[in-house]
Homo-oligomer: A and B are copies of this chain.
Amino acid sequence: MNTIHHRIGALTESTEPVYEALTTIDGLANWWTVDTTGDASIGGKIEFRFPPGGFDMEVVELEPGAFVRWRVVDGPPEWIGTHIEFRLSRSDGYTIVNFAHTGWAEPVEFLSHCSTKWATYLLSLKQYAETGTGSPSPDDVQISDWD
């Protein structure tokens, strides 16, 4: 199994703004994709849509201010059954997000693409938590021919 890892830090007074951005439909729509709908509570399903397609996530774990875990229930075949997690902590005035997208069967080129895209979205999350304005799709960073 292969994993995408990232770590960013947002200059916020507590983990709350970041946790809110990960656990409410409005928050998610402000940094990942404006077309976010569904139910962000445990057991709920969130639908994320982008111009080329999208992902459906089941919310499998929530620990207030500290941890979020989703399971991918629909989307590209390489994503289905993988898990996405955000672990929050505090360090030196920053809210640290340790991110992992686990369970990729193979280290395909699409994993590499998604790894770079995740970095751009996590920097959008940082920007949103710090300033109230992120860069969600369709105004996200274009990184290649794969968007």
CB contacts under 8 Å to B, within A107-133, are 107, 109, 111-113, 115-116, 119-120, 122-123, 126
CB atoms of B146 and A9 under 8 A apart: yes
The interface stretch among A12-20, A28-36, A137-145 is A137-145
| Contact of A7 (CB < 8 Å), options: B7, B98, B109, B126 | B109
CB distance from A138 to the nearest CB of B (A): 18
Q: Shortest beta-carbon distance, A5 to chain B, in Å?
A: 4
Q: Measured between alpha carbons, how far is A4 from B118 in the docked complex, in Å? A: 13
CA distance A113 to B4 in the complex (A): 11
Q: How many residues of chain A get a CB closer than 8 Å to chain B's CBs?
A: 33
Q: Determine which of B2, B94, B111 lies in contact with A145 in the assembled complex, contact meaning CB atoms within 8 Å.
A: B94
Q: How far is the CB of A112 from chain B (nearest CB, A)?
A: 4
Q: Is the CB of A116 within 8 A of B7?
A: yes
Most chain-B Cβ atoms within 10 A of its Cβ — which of A7, A109, A123?
A: A7
Complex contacts, A122 vs chain B, CB 8 Å? 116
Task: Report whether A144 and B8 are in contact in the complex, using a CB–CB cutoff of 8 Å.
Answer: yes
Q: CA separation between A120 and B123, bound complex, in Å?
A: 10
Chain B neighbourhood of A146, CB < 8 A:
7, 9
- Which residues of A are at the interface with B, using a C-beta cutoff of 8 A? 2-9, 91-94, 96, 98-100, 107, 109, 111-113, 115-116, 119-120, 122-123, 126, 141, 143-146
